[in-house]
Structure 1
Amino acid sequence: MPDLDLLATFLEIYRSGSLTAAAARRGLSQAAVSGQLARLEQQVGQRLFDRSRRGAVPTERALDLARRIGTHIDELHHVFDAPPEDLAAYRGTVRLAGPSDLLAMRVMPVLAPLAVRGLRLRITLGLAEDLLAVLAAGSLDMVVSAVRPPPGTVVATAFADEEFVLVGAPSLARTIDPGALATEPLRALAHLPLIAYAEDLPIIRRYWRSEFGRRPPNPVAITIPDLRATLAAVVAGAGVSVLPRYVAEPALAAGSVEVLHQPQVPPLNTLYLVTRVGGLAAPAVATVHRALTERSNHWVL
């Protein structure tokens, strides 16, 4: 019978579609996850995933195995992870808000198991400035924000740093003059169309000013307020963009995009958990805050 750790790692790969994402969720190196998958495939006697540009694609054997063991492995984790004296902390409703990409790819995998224990979650998606105003007005309990709010009615706790990378499809990468990129990067990149989160280029503008000293002169091909959709457009060759590494990593691993510029110091942006003053006195809110803070130590952002 396969070791439970091997099965847990298999489920993370199956659910995330990527060995890199599974390693981040399990708090392991990618090499350790690859080794565990190889041992499990040896024990079951069949290949479980095919590597492709879409990531780790499950085989029919993997689909059947996931259906059979998924809920059972989750239930075992809940039994061992939740001591009886902590059960009161899972009674209540937490109104949480943040950007769709971060919540989908990092936050929800941490919080969904809490709902199985009884915690109720009400999720709102949106932009940081709008959500922080709603929080201050009392209609939210917590906001995951890339913007640090001014002190006052809310309290911001730094809990993770996300690294930004400038990426483009290999076909566009080949149009960049390496010599010009080393000496005049602004000019070397100026012909590349941009895929932006919004018309004011919030992420791209910050990267250009940090690395090149001014706003990008590049034409804007597409604006779309979703980083996963932005990545899809970049993979398709419609333009280049600046993305958090955790969003770009599966495409980088597959070779469907490349890092176009290597800063001496990787540009980072701090993420905050923002609550109202006194908000952590609510046990359910404190539980969510603690779970995200502890798990973020293992994130690859």
Structure 2
Amino acid sequence: MFDDLALFVAIVEAGSLNQAAARSGTPPATVTRRLQRLEQQLGVRLLHRSARRLVPTAEGWQYYAQCRPLLHALTQATQSLDQSMHQVSGSIRVLAPVNLANGALLGAWPGFLARYPAVSLELELSNEVQDIVGRGADLAIRVGPQADSLLVQRRLGRIELVLVASPAYLAQHGSPADPDALSQHALIVAEPIRAWRFRDPASGAERTLMPTASRLRVNDMRLAVTMAEQGFGLLLCPMTECHAAVERGALTRVLEPWRPAGRDVFAVWPQQGFTPARVKALIEHLAAYAAMSPLLGGDHQAVAAGGLGA
């Protein structure tokens, strides 16, 4: 009925059926048939028609006066929605881990805002996995396997995990020869890395340890890195968090042949028929940024742009 209503308004404004037909690209016979259908649905005659003239009835004028502003408002709403879906503008609410957003992805945010001046970002940083829909977010950055079938996901990159200790700690306590020897050392366990997984350099088999006894257990990775630098134990942590300490010699990599299993980084968003252009633009920007980042390419090496899967 909406299309017939819009056609009626167009007929009144055009002043004739033929003009309205020409402007809409609709055959005159079709215009006449649709007008008659609308009058039948309303149970009232809307137009006085003759060979030369077309004049709205009193009811037709009343109907036109009431419907025209509604059609105008609906048209504006549709245009605004179209702009929201197809133009890179508006607000994007993003959930992300604190250290990742402040660390390996730190340079992505200013680059995106500079490229898209009509977009505003609302970043909510937390190390807890939050409900995207419940938090009203458009996008979330998550680390590790994603099993939620209600979310669309795109792999952005891979974070290398490393076992590190300070030179002072290793000088006093020695370096473990294999994962079994870790039980003889002081350990720093940082959430959310509860399981320590290593790959046997000889067989390729994965060995998983669940450290139960630890010198320090903390839910902040940066504090854990600081404590490891101070010589309080061995720490398994993302290279994104300790690369600076490793590069300046404050921390040393341990058990290097036993490669700890890395962790994939994903952009995830709710399943929906259409993803707004602004959200698509941010996903593409993050993927391109991660592809050029040595800290997100895996094995602490840069990954060629475009090498990440969707």
Structure 1, unpaired ranges of 5+: 1-87
Which of 188, 203, 206 does residue 196 from structure 2 map onto? 206
CA–CA separation in structure 2 for the residues paired with 1:212 and 1:194: 17
Q: What does residue 148 of structure 1 align with?
A: 145
Per the TM alignment, residue 257 of structure 1 is displaced from its structure 2 partner at its CA by 0.6
- In structure 2, do the counterparts of structure 1 residues 296 and 191 end up closer, same or farther at CA, with 3 Å as the change threshold? same
Cα deviations across residues 172-210 of structure 1 (Å, max 9, x unaligned)? Answer: 1224545xx33x5422x2233222223xxx425233698
- Paired with 2:92 and 2:107, the residues of 1 have a C-alpha distance of 16
User: 2: distance between equivalents of 1:227 and 1:204?
Assistant: 12
5+ residue gaps, structure 2: 1-85, 200-204, 296-310
Match of 2:126 in 1: 126
Higher helix share: 1
Q: Confirm or deny that 1:221 pairs with 2:215.
A: yes
Mapped to 2, the partners of 1:269 and 1:185 lie a distance apart of 19
Match of 2:21 in 1: none
> 1:196 touches 1:224 (CA, 8 Å); kept in 2?
yes
Name which one, 1 or 2, has greater alpha-carbon Rg.
Answer: 2
Residue 256 in 1 paired to residue 250 in 2?
Answer: yes
1:1-301 map, 5 Å: 89-116=87-114, 117-127=117-127, 130-131=129-130, 134-137=131-134, 139-177=136-174, 181-182=176-177, 184-187=178-181, 189-198=182-191, 202-207=192-197, 212-216=207-211, 219-278=213-272, 281-301=275-295
C-alpha deviation, 1:266, in angstroms: 4.9
Shift of 1:211: 5.5
- Post-superposition offset of 1:246: 2.1
Whole-angstrom distance in 2 between the partners of 1:234 and 1:280: 46
Query: Percent of aligned pairs with the same residue?
Result: 18
Secondary structure of 1:190's match? helix
Equivalent pair of 2:98/2:127 in contact (CA under 8 Å): no
- TM-score where L is the length of structure 2: 0.59
| 2:223 aligned partner, one-letter code | A
Does the CA contact (< 8 Å) of 2:198 and 2:260 recur in 1? no
Gap change, CA 1:225 and 1:185, over 3 Å in 2: closer
Please report how far the alpha carbon of residue 112 of structure 1 lies from its aligned counterpart in structure 2 after TM superposition.
1.7
C-alpha distance in 2, partners of 1:89/1:242?
A: 43
2-structure distance, mates of 1:177, 1:232: 20
**1:82-119: CA deviation from partner (whole Å, max 9, x where unpaired):** xxxxxx85411111112111101122311223224232
Q: Per-residue deviation at 1:263?
A: 3.1
Please tell me whether the aligned partners of residues 96 and 141 of structure 1 are also in contact (alpha carbons under 8 angstroms). Answer: yes
Q: Give the root-mean-square deviation of aligned CA atoms.
A: 2.5
Secondary structure class of the residue paired with 1:108? coil
The change in CA–CA distance for 1:185 and 1:261 in structure 2 (over 3 A counts) is same
Distance 1:282 1:211 in 2: 41
Q: CA deviation at 1:273?
A: 0.6
CA distance in 2, matches of 1:214, 1:107: 29
How many residue pairs get aligned? The number is 203
Opposite residue 238 of structure 2, the aligned amino acid is P
> Given residue 141 of structure 1, which amino acid in structure 2 is its aligned partner?
D
Q: Provide Cα deviations, 1:51-75, integer angstroms capped at 9, x if missing partner.
A: xxxxxxxxxxxxxxxxxxxxxxxxx
Report the Cα offset of residue 248 of structure 1.
Answer: 1.2
| Greater mean alpha carbon deviation, residues 235-244 or residues 283-292 | 235-244
What TM-score results when the alignment is normalised by the length of structure 1? 0.60
Q: Determine the C-alpha separation between the residues in 2 that align with 1:185 and 1:222.
A: 18
- Give the distance between the partners of 1:142 and 1:231, measured in 2 at CA: 29
Relative to structure 1, the CA distance from residue 196 to residue 190 in structure 2 (aligned partners, 3 Å threshold; closer, same or farther) is same
How far does residue 291 in structure 1 lie from its aligned partner after superposition? 0.3
Cα 1:212/1:151, change in 2 over 3 Å: closer
Question: 2:106 is paired with a residue of what secondary structure?
Answer: helix
Is the 8 Å Cα contact of residues 136 and 154 (structure 1) preserved in structure 2?
A: no
**Structure 2 vs 1, CA of residues 125 and 233 (structure 1 numbering), >3 Å: closer, same or farther?**
same
